[in-house]
C-alpha cells in the first residue's frame, strides 16, 4: 500500500525530465477500481513520458537534486524578508520541527506575521499516502472493505500530496516566506549554487522564472526524501524492536498503556506495530480526525470570535469547503521524535507532553481542566468547533468516558506513557547507553513485536 522509496525517487526523476509534470498531477486523488488509495507518485510515473534514463542516471539526478534541495532549505535569501529559511521553522536539530516553544512561528516581510498552525516535523512524511476521502487498507484494519475515512495528504489538513506542491505554500505565503516565483528565481540565479542548478536541470533552467521555480520545488521535495535525515529509524524503540535494546519498567509500562484499548488506546490511531510488510511502525494511521482540541486564545487570529480553523473544510484547504463531515479534522501526526517538540497539536496549544496525554484521558471526565468555564460553572466544551460539527468529534476510547468517570490513565500512568514517547527520539545508540540491556527485551514482550 505505501509507496516504496525507490519508486518515489524514480517518479521524481521522471518528473524532473518532463518538467511540466510538476503541476499536472497536483490535484489528483487517485483511486483504483476498488476505491483504494493509490500513492499519487505512481501516477506521476505513469503520466511522465517514457524516459531513456538508466537507473544509475536516475539516482545520480536525484542525488544532485537533493543536494540542491538542502542548500535551498537553508537559504534565507529565497524569502521576501531575506531572513527566513525553511530551516528557520523546520529546525534540523528539532526533527525538522519548530526550534522554540512558540505555538506558531513568525514570518512575512517584517518577520512579525504570525501563522495560525504549529510547525509540524518533516520527518517520516515518506509514508504519508496521497489524500483520499475513503481509505481502505488491509494493513490497518485487517479487512480492505473497511472504510477508514479521510486519510493522508501533507499539512495538518492534507491539502497537497507532494513535497513540491507543498513547498510552494510557505514560499509564497504572506505570513511565512512571503516571496514570489520571480524573487526565488532571482535569488537562485545569483546564488553560489547557480551552476549546480544548471548541471542538474539543464543550461536553460534560468530561461523563465516558472522553470526555475519548478526546479526549486522539485529539489526541496528530493531533499525531504533523504532517508538518513528524514527517516533514519534510529530511536531506542527501533533498537528495541530489533532486539538491540531493552525498555526500562516505565517505558515498557508506557508502551502497554499506549497500546491497551481499555487504557490509552493511543495505538488505534498512532500505530505502534510493524506493517504487514515488516516495515517499522510510523506511529500514525494518517487519518484526518477531529479530537476537539481547545481553542488557543494566545493566537492573534483567534481574537476574532468568528474565526475557526476547521482543518480539512477550511479556511486553508478549499476543496472540501462546506462539506460538514470534514470540519474540525486534522491529520494524525506521527509521534516519532515527538519528545523533541515544545509545542503540540495543530494550534500549538500545549507545550508539555504530559499535558497532551492528560487532555486525551480527561477531555470528557474533567472538561473544566481544558475548556473555559463560565461564572455559572458551565464548561464551554469543544470551544474551537461550532456546534453543528460536533458529531465529527471522536468518541472512541479514551474519549468514551463521561463527566465524573475515572480517567483512562492516572497521573503515574500518564508519566509512563510520556517515558515511552521519549523512546521514539532518533539518534539512540545502544553502545553508548550502559542501561540498554537492563529491562525488558522484545523477546519477553509479544504485542509490540509483530
68's enclosing H/E stretch is helix 55-73
The smaller minimum CB distance to ligand HEC, of residues 171 and 239, is found at: 171
Q: How many Å apart are CA 376 and CA 201, to the nearest integer?
A: 66
Query: Could you tell me which residues come within 8 angstroms of residue 309 by beta carbon, excluding any fewer than 6 positions away?
Result: 116, 117, 315, 316, 346, 347, 384
Q: Which residues bind ligand HEC (CB under 6 A)?
A: 84, 86, 88-90, 105, 107, 115, 117, 119-120, 122, 125, 154-157, 163, 166-167, 170-171, 176-177, 220, 224, 264-266, 268-270, 289, 291, 293, 316, 330, 332-333, 335, 338, 341, 344-346, 353, 356-357, 360, 394, 396, 398, 417
Nearest approach in angstroms of CB 350 to ligand HEC is: 8
Nearest approach in angstroms of CB 352 to ligand HEC is: 10
Nearest approach in angstroms of CB 375 to ligand HEC is: 28
Nearest approach in angstroms of CB 2 to ligand HEC is: 15
The smaller minimum CB distance to ligand HEC, of residues 136 and 317, is found at: 317
The smaller minimum CB distance to ligand HEC, of residues 163 and 280, is found at: 163
The smaller minimum CB distance to ligand HEC, of residues 163 and 314, is found at: 163
Nearest approach in angstroms of CB 34 to ligand HEC is: 25
The smaller minimum CB distance to ligand HEC, of residues 66 and 88, is found at: 88
User: Quick check: 2 and 127 in contact, CB under 8 A?
Assistant: yes
Tell me how far CA of residue 69 lies from CA of 56, 142, 233, 348, in angstroms: 20, 38, 22, 28
Nearest approach in angstroms of CB 307 to ligand HEC is: 15
106's enclosing H/E stretch is strand 106-107
Query: DSSP letter at 342?
Result: S
Other Cβ atoms less than 10 A from the Cβ of 56: the count is 8
Q: How many Å apart are CA 313 and CA 293, to the nearest integer?
A: 16
The smaller minimum CB distance to ligand HEC, of residues 129 and 436, is found at: 129
Tell me how far CA of residue 411 lies from CA of 193, 355, 357, 384, 417, in angstroms: 53, 11, 10, 26, 10
Nearest approach in angstroms of CB 376 to ligand HEC is: 28
Chain position carrying cell 507532553: 353
The smaller minimum CB distance to ligand HEC, of residues 211 and 346, is found at: 346
Amino acid at each position: 500500500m505505501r509507496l516504496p522509496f525507490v519508486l518515489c525517487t524514480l517518479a521524481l526523476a521522471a518528473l524532473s525530465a518532463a518538467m511540466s509534470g510538476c503541476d499536472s498531477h497536483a490535484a489528483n486523488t487517485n483511486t483504483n477500481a476498488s476505491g483504494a488509495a493509490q500513492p499519487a507518485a505512481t501516477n506521476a510515473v505513469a503520466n511522465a513520458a517514457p524516459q531513456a534514463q538508466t537507473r544509475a542516471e536516475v539516482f545520480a539526478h536525484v542525488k544532485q537534486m537533493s543536494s540542491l534541495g538542502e542548500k535551498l532549505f537553508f537559504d534565507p535569501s529565497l524569502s521576501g524578508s531575506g531572513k527566513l529559511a525553511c530551516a528557520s521553522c523546520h529546525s534540523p536539530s528539532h526533527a525538522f520541527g519548530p526550534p522554540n516553544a512558540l505555538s506558531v512561528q513568525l514570518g512575512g516581510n517584517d518577520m512579525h506575521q504570525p501563522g495560525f498552525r504549529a510547525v509540524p516535523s518533516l520527518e517520516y512524511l515518506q509514508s504519508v499516502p496521497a489524500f483520499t476521502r475513503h481509505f481502505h487498507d488491509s494493513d490497518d484494519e485487517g479487512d480492505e472493505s473497511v472504510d477508514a475515512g479521510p486519510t493522508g495528504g501533507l499539512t495538518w489538513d492534507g491539502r497537497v500530496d507532494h513535497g513540491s506542491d507543498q513547498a510552494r505554500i510557505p514560499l509564497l505565503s504572506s505570513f511565512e516566506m512571503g516571496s514570489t516565483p520571480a524573487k526565488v528565481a532571482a535569488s537562485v540565479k545569483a546564488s553560489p549554487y547557480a551552476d549546480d542548478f544548471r548541471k542538474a536541470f539543464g543550461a536553460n533552467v534560468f530561461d523563465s522564472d516558472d522553470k526555475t521555480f519548478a526546479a526549486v520545488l522539485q529539489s526541496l521535495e528530493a531533499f525531504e526524501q533523504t532517508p538518513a535525515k528524514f527517516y533514519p529509524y534510529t530511536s531506542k524503540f527501533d533498537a528495541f524492536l530489533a532486539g538491540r535494546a531493552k525498555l526500562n519498567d516505565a517505558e515498557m509500562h508506557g508502551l502497554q498503556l499506549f497500546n491497551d484499548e481499555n487504557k490509552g488506546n493511543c495505538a488505534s490511531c498512532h500505530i505502534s506495530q510493524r506493517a504487514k510488510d515488516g516495515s517499522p511502525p510510523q506511529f500514525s494511521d494518517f487519518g484526518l480526525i477531529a479530537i476537539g482540541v481547545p481553542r488557543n486564545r494566545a493566537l492573534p487570529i483567534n481574537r476574532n470570535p468568528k474565526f475557526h480553523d476547521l482543518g480539512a473544510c477550511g479556511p486553508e484547504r478549499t476543496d472540501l469547503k462546506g462539506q460538514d463531515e470534514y470540519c474540525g479534522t486534522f491529520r494524525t501526526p506521527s509521534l516519532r521524535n515527538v519528545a523533541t517538540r515544545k509545542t503540540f497539536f495543530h494550534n500549538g496549544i500545549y507545550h508539555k507532553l504530559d499535558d497532551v496525554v492528560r487532555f486525551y484521558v480527561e477531555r470528557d471526565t474533567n472538561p473544566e481542566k481544558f475548556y473555559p468555564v463560565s461564572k455559572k460553572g458551565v464548561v464551554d466544551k469543544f470551544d474551537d468547533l461550532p456546534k453543528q460539527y460536533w458529531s465529527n468529534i471522536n468518541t472512541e476510547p479514551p474519549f468514551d468516558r463521561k463527566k465524573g468517570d475515572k480517567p483512562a490513565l492516572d497521573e503515574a500512568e500518564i508519566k509512563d506513557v510520556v517515558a515511552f514517547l521519549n523512546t521514539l527520539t532518533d539518534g539512540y545508540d545502544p553502545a553508548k547507553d550502559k542501561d540498554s540491556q537492563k529491562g525488558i527485551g522484545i523477546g519477553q514482550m509479544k504485542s509490540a513485536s509483530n
